[in-house]
Structures are given as structure tokens and as C-alpha cells.
Amino acid sequence: MNFKDSRLYSIIYMKCPRCHEGDFFVSKPYDLKNAGNIHENCSCCDLKYSKEPGFYYGAMYVSYGLSVALFVAMWGSFNIFFSNIHVGIQIASVIIATIVLAPYFYALSKIIWINLFVKYDRINQSKGTD
């Protein structure tokens, strides 16, 4: 199994979870006008990205987990490596990082969520490219 066959490839490169070829999002996470907008179907394997209305509500839990992980990592790093920094600066740093990373976490949570339900299928990788 190589890296391209893993779910991590789909998540990192934000590609279709089934074929790992087509783009999942309409644009990049920091294009705020189209942030989080996904294509209807994969351009390569024709996978329908929206399984049902409200499918991506579960991505809120993933986003929450990512934000908590960011908070714990930053708070731990401050207290281990920079223990003399004032608590107010630590809190402000965590808040700023959370705001700056919010569009990326929003996109990341959606691609992680769909990867929980759709497996990579090497056979469908070439479907629709004829």
C-alpha cells in the first residue's frame, strides 16, 4: 500500500475520497467567497459528494476536535517551552490562531468527514476518463 492509496492522501490534497483524482472543493480554503463549497460530483469517478441533506453537520464535531487539538498543542507548547509568557498572551495567541485557521479547519473537517464514510476504490479511479 502506497501513500496515494491511503485516506490521508485524500485529506491532505483535498481530493475525492473514492478515486483520489478529482477535486473535492470548488476553490482553496482561504477563498472566503467560496469557502467550504464542494463540487456536486467528482469529475473523475462521478461520486456524489452530498450523500443526503445535512450530511456535513457531523463535520462540526471534527472541526471541534481539530480546534481542541490546536488549543492543547499551543497551550502545552507555551507552558513547556515558554513558561514565562503571561497567560493573557497565551490566550490571545490561541484565539488568533483559531481565527486564522478557521477556514482551513472548516474545509479539513468536511474532507475528513466524508473520508470516514467513503473508501478508496482503485477500480473507480479511471471511470469516466474515457
Number of structural domains the chain divides into = 1
Q: Per the domain annotation, does 54 fall within a domain? A: yes
**If you write DSSP's letter for every residue of 83-96 in order, what string do you get?**
TTS-HHHHHHHHHH
Q: Is residue 83 part of a domain?
A: yes
Range of the domain at 87: 3-125
Scan for cell 457531523, then name that residue: 58
Per-residue pLDDT of the chain (130 residues; tens, 9 = 90+): 688 888 999 999 999 999 999 999 999 989 989 888 999 999 999 999 988 999 999 999 999 999 999 999 999 999 999 889 999 999 999 999 999 999 999 999 999 999 999 998 877 555 544 3
| Contacting residues for 86 by C-beta, under 8 A, at least 6 apart | none
Judge whether 130 lies within some domain.
no
Let me know: does 1 contact 119? Beta carbons within 8 Å: no
Is 121 within a domain? yes
